[in-house]
Amino acid sequence: MMIDEFLNYLKYEQNCSPLTVKSYAEDLKAFETYFKNLDGQLSWESVDSDVIRDWMESMMDKGNNATSINRRLSALRSLFRFALAHHLVEKDPSRALRGPKVGKPLPQFVKETEMNRLLDDLPWGDSYQEVRARTILLTFYATGMRLAELIGLDDSAIDFANRQLKVTGKRNKQRIIPFGEELEAALTLYLNTRESQVSGQTEALFRTDKGERMNRNQVRYEVKKYLSCVCTLKKRTPHVLRHTFATAMLNHDAGIESVKKLLGHESLSTTEIYTHTTFEQLKRVYTNAHPRA
């Protein structure tokens, strides 16, 4: 039997793990069951590309995602390559077939109402730790900068006169990000609080209680801690706040080219994923609001 020969090849010649061999066996036997139920006269030697294509469509109809369908198609291709090399079949019907496209997951973001609750309604105290945490959250939300960019900020990066921050991004590329009155007030309060409560000689803008530059894990902890107060997203990270910034900008009519520059993206296609996010939001609004939707 062709499947058995192929599985023995995987096991004894390719030294595949028992789990891998089992996975191949399940996928290949599922296809064999499919084409035998389709037509009792079909065999591995007579299966053509149309049968494989029908099989993929049947899996899509059953709700299988693109990743699992592509995995099964890959198992089938491996079998036919083996069979062709060992003269068990005369042609490979899977060769010209393409699997379904795997869509990129849409970026998660915090809702605008949740960000308002976080920044406006939480009972923020005047301790250094709380003032710092709120300023970090607002900086991410107001600028869309990356985690590495935030922890790399020095005091000298702030230009209060022009309300802008100089950020060093990937490959040491620098860009200027403007900010508004709210972040100006938050940064001013933060610096005054830091001056009175924390000592240290570092140039870092965001410092630990001991006056040292904050690291990635410390900032991630702060962000997760406070986002957990207002949302239930699985991911509650600085990068989610970057997504939140981009989504908010586009929802409030910012041009995609402007958002691209603010985020420091090199390619417009990288920024375009946020337009899909806003479109999904529009679809939900439409479905909920239109009487005939």
Q: Which residues contact 158 (CB under 8 A, 6 or more apart)?
A: 165, 187, 205
Q: Which of 71, 81, 220, 265 is catalytic?
A: 265
Residues across the chain: 293
Q: How far apart are CA 246 and CA 15, in angstroms?
A: 47
Q: Which of 22, 170, 216, 276 is catalytic?
A: 170
Q: Which residues pair with 204 in a beta bridge?
A: 154
Residue tagged active-site, from 132, 207, 242, 260: 242
| No. of helices (H) and no. of strands (E), the chain | 12, 3
How far apart (Å, rounded) are the C-alpha atoms in residues 108 and 104? 12
170 is a catalytic site residue: yes
User: Which stretches within the chain are classed as H helix?
Assistant: 2-8, 18-38, 49-61, 66-85, 112-116, 128-143, 147-151, 181-197, 216-227, 238-251, 256-263, 268-289
CA distance 178 to 159: 9
Catalytic status, residue 175: no
Q: Does residue 242 have an active-site annotation?
A: yes
253 residue type, one letter:
D
Q: How far is CA 106 from the centre of its chain?
A: 7
Q: 3-class DSSP state for residue 4?
A: helix
Residue 224 appears among annotated catalytic residues = no
Distance, in Å, from the CA atom of 126 to the CA atom of 149, rounded to the nearest integer, reads 26
The catalytic residue among 77, 111, 239, 261 is 239
Task: Give whole-number Cα distances, 20 to 15, 17, 44, 95, 286, in Å.
Answer: 10, 5, 22, 22, 45
Which has the closest alpha carbon to 138: 248, 278, 276? 248
**Marked catalytic residue, from 132, 134, 146, 194:** 146
Rounded to an integer, what distance in angstroms lies between the CA atom of residue 158 and that of residue 238? 20
Indicate which residues carry an active-site annotation.
146, 170, 239, 242, 265, 274
